[in-house]
Homo-oligomer: A and B are copies of this chain.
Amino acid sequence: MRQPGPAPSGLAGIPAVSVLVTFVLHPQLAADTTVVAKLDLCRVLLMEDARYPWLILVPQLADLKDLHQVPSGHQAALWQEINQACTVLEQVTRPYKLNVAALGNQVPQLHIHIIARNPEDTAWPGPVWGVGKAQPYGEHNRAELIKQLSAALGTGTTAGE
């Protein structure tokens, strides 16, 4: 009979990995977005709706529903990355203002919307959710916006899925 032994070499001392590996992006978020970057905590996604420059941040941790459930050891990173994404979206798209929201009534995996809003946009001054139909980006416009966002985030190239 094999005796229980120590953990395999290379796995000791990195408990965070056991949390990270169980994260799987919700299929609805995957279907509606393109990956812009992977930051330390969050995956940064571009919503496929050319009516509003619209980022979605998803903390790469399993089983999170609401904002205040983010473990205390990850909260500072979350807020830092929300601030970073806001700053970058503002810098690249120069909107009138930003909307930031964690709703999650329809897609239960915790995700944070960061949306560039302008008085000329379709939904103004209301919120964007449920208003009309998403307008897909053209290939060139999507690629160009992701390139600019990714460069401003300091992640350089698209991280890919």
List A residues at the B interface (Cβ < 8 Å): 65-68, 75-76, 79, 82-83, 86-87, 90, 97-106, 108, 117, 124-127, 129-130
Query: Can you list the 9 inter-chain pairs with the closest CB atoms, starting with the nearest?
Result: A101-B101, A68-B86, A105-B125, A68-B83, A79-B79, A100-B102, A99-B103, A66-B98, A106-B125
How long is the Cα–Cα vector from A67 to B98 in the complex, in angstroms?
A: 8
Which one, B90, B97, B100, B108, contacts A101 given CB within 8 A? Answer: B100
Across the two chains, which residue of chain B brings its CB closest to A68? B86
Which chain B residues border A65 with CB–CB below 8 Å? 97
Across the two chains, which residue of chain B brings its CB closest to A118? B105
Which chain B residues border A75 with CB–CB below 8 Å? 79, 83
Extra pairs beyond A68-B87, A99-B103, A99-B104 (12, CB < 8 Å) = A66-B86, A66-B90, A67-B83, A68-B90, A99-B102, A100-B102, A101-B101, A101-B127, A105-B125, A126-B130, A127-B127, A127-B129
